[in-house]
Amino acid sequence: MIIKKKVSVFTMAFAIVGLSIFSMLNYTEILSFCQEATSIFKRKDSDFFKLPNIDCRRTPPFLVILVTSHPRQIKSRTAIRETWGKERVIAEKRIVTFFLLGNTSQPFDRLIVTTESSLYRDIIQKDFLDTYYNLTLKTLMGFEWIHKFCPQSSFVMKTDCDMFVNTYYLVELLSKRSQTTRFFTGILKMHDSPIRDPGSKWYVSKEEYPENKYPPFCSGTGYVLSTDVASHVYMVSQKVRFLKLEDVFVGMCLAELKIEPEVLHSEPTFFASRVEFSPCRYRKLITSHFVTAAEMLIYWTGLERSMVEECPEIQ
């Protein structure tokens, strides 16, 4: 069943005009346009287009995984639903996974998202253009949903569609924690500086961020936070200067909240790069990057089959 949603004339006109303008602007002007656009969307009504089918008050999950995705990443979402993103209970801890999407002007893409949402009820969506430079808005949307609809959960993970996540090991490590508030972890970035090269994907101008050092943050490829921190980041984000780099912006919010990122385990467990697969190696990591949909299915099957085997090379 396809759920029909009303789309305002303003939104459609904005998307069409925006796409036309993008083809004529240079890189610096695009960044300026993106910031102006996001400020407009921030002032709009906060209604969600799509919401997942869950009642956290009745059945609060231990861990909510929020996966940033683009409407056209259908294969990745399907693979995640069949592997690490499938709702399951691990060591009596319930895990659920939802996908964060922005809006698109393409009718076919909208149809795909609406159909998926009707079938799986695992999509969170609001009315902003789904672009790389709106990733901050996408992540804040996820935290807003946590704040308003699922504050009963214990932990939240934010990750991307091309990541492999070992939920078994993640739950094992989180379950050992005595502290379940004011917690934030991932790949720690403690002394990073803004990239001032205009040719870089991660270029940030002095106007966007005047300081020479970023506050401590974690790589946006995959980080975990206690649910209270997700709520606090969402609330404090309104008074933090907007930055298109989502992971750095979250770090700026953490600095405002005086929350320091910390390590989850004495050994590295989060990886922003690709880790070549072996069942024993993957049993002791939480994230691996640049994993295709086909590989995800193979790796997950291999991981689960190896759970009862001994791995002498892993200490």
Overall domain count for the chain: 1
CATH code for position 95: 3.90.550
Q: For residue 240, is it within any domain?
A: yes
Q: For residue 295, is it within any domain?
A: no
- In contact, 209 and 247? CB cutoff 8 Å: no
Q: For residue 282, is it within any domain?
A: no
- In contact, 262 and 270? CB cutoff 8 Å: no
Q: For residue 296, is it within any domain?
A: no
Q: For residue 302, is it within any domain?
A: no
Separation of alpha carbons 23 and 21, rounded Å: 5
CA distances, 181 to each of 101, 154, 170, 252 (Å)? 27, 8, 17, 18
pLDDT at 287 over 50: yes
Tell me: the pLDDT tens digits for 15-55? 333 333 333 334 343 343 344 334 433 434 368 999 999 99
Q: For residue 284, is it within any domain?
A: no
Q: Average model confidence (pLDDT) for the chain?
A: 87
Domain that holds residue 29: 9-266
**Given the structure tokens 């049993």, which residue do they identify?**
283
User: In 6-37, which positions are buried (b, 16+ CB within 10 angstroms) versus exposed (e)?
Assistant: eeeeebeebbeeeeeeeeeeeeeeebeebbeb
Separation of alpha carbons 315 and 303, rounded Å: 17
Q: For residue 4, is it within any domain?
A: no
Concatenated DSSP letters of 62-117 = SEEEEEE--TT-HHHHHHHHHTTTS-EEETTEEEEEEEEEEE-S-HHHHHHHHHHH
Tell me: the pLDDT tens digits for 202-252? 999 999 999 999 999 999 999 999 999 999 999 999 999 999 999 999 999
Q: For residue 112, is it within any domain?
A: yes
Burial class (CB in 10 A: 0-12, 13-18, 19+), 48: middle
